[in-house]
Amino acid sequence: MALAIKNPRPPVLRRASSRRTKTRGLALHGTLILGVAVSLFPLYWLFVMATNTTEAIYASPPTLTVGKELLTNIGHVLENVNFFASMANTVVVAVSTTLLVLFFDSLAAFTFAKFEFPGRNLLFGGLITTLLLPGQLSVIPQFLIMINLGWVGDLRALVIPAAANAFGIFWLRQYMQSAIPDELLETAKLDGCNFFRQYLTVCLPLIRPALGFLGMFTFIAAWNDYLWPLIVLTNPDKLTLQVALSQLNTAHGKDYGMLMAGALMAVVPLLVVFLFGAKQFVSDAVKGAVKG
Amino acid sequence: MAALDTVAAKAIQLPPGQPVKGRSVGRRMLKAWPQYLAISPFYALFLVFGAAPIAFSLYLSFHSWNGLGSITFVGLKQYAFLISDSTFYLALRNTLVIFVISTVPMLSFALVIAFMLNSAKRFSTFYRVAYFIPNVTSVVAMAILFTSIFGNQFGIINAALNVFGIGNVGWLSSPFGLKVVIAALMAWQYTGYNAIIYLAGMQAISGEVYEAARMDGAGAVSIFFRITIPLLRPIILFTVIMSTIGGLQGFTEAQIISTSSSTSVSGGVGQGGLTLMLYFYNQAFGNNNFGYGAAIAWGVFIIITLFTALNWQLARSKDK
């Protein structure tokens, strides 16, 4: 109770009489729940369609409840595209991109946050400037580079250019400036830790929450990337999930039951990853935005 | 340390061939080799996959090339064609209409949702997660889903409209309908995302400000318009700019939804779903017009820059 009184942010409701407070609370939560319903309905509907036959979806009035045809629909997806291979490709791309980004970004951010060296400010300024350059300017030449490297149709074309990014370095540096006390680094230095050992033993353990946040963000972005894979993955046997799904849509646009089963399978892994760290994700997003 | 820095600063200004002072910067640089090594991956990758391609795309935009034959210099012809290309203007109009009808409701709802979330103490984690979920779904999958939700004959939206006695709306068979579907998907995906950003800003506003307003008898509505929105101005500007950059570069939603429309023309019926980036993709990778594709990319870049500058200007003029 004492805590509740101390809370400096007792918004709109506190001064009203208790009955008014209650109705207001009901109205507030009622509206918020309505918003949640709009937010989540498409996903429920995706599940309904993925578990029904196309005929049931086309029926009038349409079927509104979860059906029993999920496995049949998934079976049809597997007959038409090499779904598991595309999923495996996507997992390889998303996981390796995420690991590389976490390593390179945190190492660079640690250096910028905690070390002095000639040209530091100039280099960091340059890094910030690259944030302003939109990706589409480099798409055509990047494709030509991939041709020259022989990486067209190869997953390396997706992973390597994305292996380090300015946003992650900038964001982690902000985080590290307050999260890593200079005294700890001094102690580590006195103990004879070199630069890389300081990164491993002092920096990494202290920035775990930030790495979790950046990792999830990177993973989701890599999983969802569409324009670049569409351009560079020319081999029909080696696609990512998004491109395979798009081809399924073009070729079998009328078989909703099957299409939705495919869409569902592309979404579920992301939702699992997100819900796994949801609480931290949402609160870290909040912190990052305030600091930024 | 300070003395060393001034020495170093002077050394930079000296012409080359001044061995004594030059060496002290050099020595500091040599000593910092682990630091340079640590930051080098980003710069190496940017050089190869960012800077060099951007320079080359500028070069390409003054040339004509199909990717196989020889590259021919054509001067400003690609840009001259661009400013007289009616399809480019159609794509620009489409993009702007989609941007407006998605962003305005999206950011308005996001503000209201954030304001309500800021008042709701119970279930706050549940609400945040639920509102954020649309943003972590796959865009391609959701675009396929939305074409079915807005389906002309069997879509759930039209089924619901029928219940209220309104006949089927041809969402996917009219140029404006296509834009509505694309905009609805973008708004659905980003409303909760923006609400979470606004919520962060609102939580940074001191509780005393609200307390003082309530002492003066202000209700929730006037607090929202007179306190929350003015204090959130910088964050609102940030989200408007981010939405402008994202909205003007929209590709995936438009590409998937317009291919599902009842025609084989890229961009769907009447090319109503042809966005700037979709037009860029068709020209560069459908027709192998690398020179013209590069010119379109620079055109889009200039348009985005103008809009961002306009946003800044509007925000600043309001400050007075």
* Cα–Cα distance for residue pair B127/B131, rounded to 1 Å: 6
Q: What is the pLDDT of residue A287?
A: 53
CB B56 within 8 A of CB A123: no
Of the two residues A166 and B26, the one the predictor is more confident about is A166
pLDDT at A267 over 80: yes
* Cα–Cα distance for residue pair B157/B169, rounded to 1 Å: 9
* Nearest residue to B250 (alpha-carbon basis) of B277, B282, B283: B277
The distance in angstroms from the start CA to the end CA of chain B is: 44
Q: Would the CB atoms of A160 and B45 count as touching at under 8 Å?
A: yes
- A 90-149 residues with CB < 8 A to B: 104-105, 107-108, 110-112, 115, 117-119, 123, 127, 130, 133-145
Residues of chain B found within 8 Å of residue A119, distances taken between Cβ atoms: 29
Residue pointed to by tokens 């001067």: B75
How would residue A137 be classed by pLDDT, with cut points 50, 70 and 90? very high
The tokens describing A94, both together, are: 């998303």
Cα-only R_g, chain A: 25
The tokens describing A177, both together, are: 């400036």
Q: Does any CB of chain B come closer than 8 Å to the CB of residue A195?
A: yes
CB A29 within 8 A of CB B123: yes
Q: What residues have CB less than 8 Å from A86, skipping those under 6 apart?
A: A239, A240, A241, A243, A244
B260: distance to nearest CA of chain A, Å?
7
A129: distance to nearest CA of chain B, Å?
12
Nearest residue of B to residue A287 by CA position? Answer: B200
pLDDT at A82 over 80: yes
Q: What is the pLDDT of residue A91?
A: 95
Question: Is the interface score ipTM higher than 0.90?
Answer: no
Of the two residues A7 and B254, the one the predictor is more confident about is B254
CB A247 within 8 A of CB B271: no
Average pLDDT of span A142-168 = 95
Average pLDDT of span A185-214 = 92
- A 11-70 residues with CB < 8 A to B: 11-13, 15, 28-29, 31-32, 35-36, 38-40, 42-43, 45-46, 49, 57-58, 60-62
* Nearest residue to B238 (alpha-carbon basis) of B195, B196, B197: B197
Burial code (b: 16+ CB inside 10 Å, e: under 16) for A200-228 equals eebbbeebeebbbbbbbbbbbebbbbbbb
Q: What is the pLDDT of residue B11?
A: 43
* Cα–Cα distance for residue pair A39/B134, rounded to 1 Å: 7
The tokens describing B183, both together, are: 């905009």
Give the C-alpha distances (Å, rounded to integers) separating A36 from A44, A267, A272, B145. Answer: 12, 18, 19, 18
What DSSP letter does each residue of A35-94 carry, written as one string? HHHHHHHHHHHHHHHHTS-HHHHHSSSPP-S--S-HHHHHHHHHHHS-HHHHHHHHHHHH
Given a cut of 50, the residues of chain B with pLDDT beneath it are 1-21
| Single-letter amino acid code for the residue at B319 | D
Tell whether omega for the bond before A236 is within 30 degrees of 0, i.e. cis: no
Q: Would the CB atoms of A123 and B43 count as touching at under 8 Å?
A: yes
Q: Would the CB atoms of B29 and A242 count as touching at under 8 Å?
A: no
Q: What is the pLDDT of residue B261?
A: 65
The upper half-sphere exposure of residue B79, i.e. CA atoms within 13 Å in the direction of its Cβ, equals 12
Average pLDDT of span A176-186 = 91
Of the two residues B69 and A10, the one the predictor is more confident about is B69
Q: Does any CB of chain B come closer than 8 Å to the CB of residue A2?
A: no
Q: Is A187 helix (H, G, I), strand (E, B) or coil?
A: helix
B91: distance to nearest CA of chain A, Å?
16
Average pLDDT of span A99-122 = 96
Q: Would the CB atoms of B188 and A140 count as touching at under 8 Å?
A: no
Q: Would the CB atoms of A118 and B260 count as touching at under 8 Å?
A: no
Query: Best of B127, B138, B191 to disrupt the A interface by mutation (most A CBs within 10 Å)?
Result: B138
Residues of chain B found within 8 Å of residue A274, distances taken between Cβ atoms: 132-133, 136
Q: Is residue A79 exposed (0-12), middle (13-18) or buried (19+ Cβ within 10 Å)?
A: exposed
The distance in angstroms from the start CA to the end CA of chain A is: 34
CA A109, A112, A116 angle in degrees (round to 5)? 155
Q: Does any CB of chain A come closer than 8 Å to the CB of residue B136?
A: yes
How would residue A224 be classed by pLDDT, with cut points 50, 70 and 90? very high
Average pLDDT of span A25-50 = 93
The pLDDT mean for chain A works out to 86
Q: What is the pLDDT of residue A136?
A: 87
Q: Would the CB atoms of B145 and A263 count as touching at under 8 Å?
A: yes
* Cα–Cα distance for residue pair B240/B309, rounded to 1 Å: 12
Give the C-alpha distances (Å, rounded to integers) separating A2 from A7, A12, A33, B119. Answer: 9, 20, 30, 20
- B 56-115 residues with CB < 8 A to A: 56-57, 60, 67, 109, 113
HEC string for B191-204 = HHHHHHHHHHHHHC
* Nearest residue to A167 (alpha-carbon basis) of A221, A127, A107, A137: A127
Of B8, B34, B120, the CB nearest to A29: B120
The tokens describing B123, both together, are: 């279930």
Predicted confidence (pLDDT) per residue in B236-281, tens digit: 998 999 999 899 999 999 999 988 765 666 788 889 999 999 999 9
pLDDT at A12 over 70: no
- A 221-280 residues with CB < 8 A to B: 223-224, 226-227, 230-231, 241-242, 245-246, 249-250, 253, 256, 259-260, 262-264, 266-267, 270-271, 273-275, 278-279
CB B62 within 8 A of CB B74: yes
CB A246 within 8 A of CB A204: no
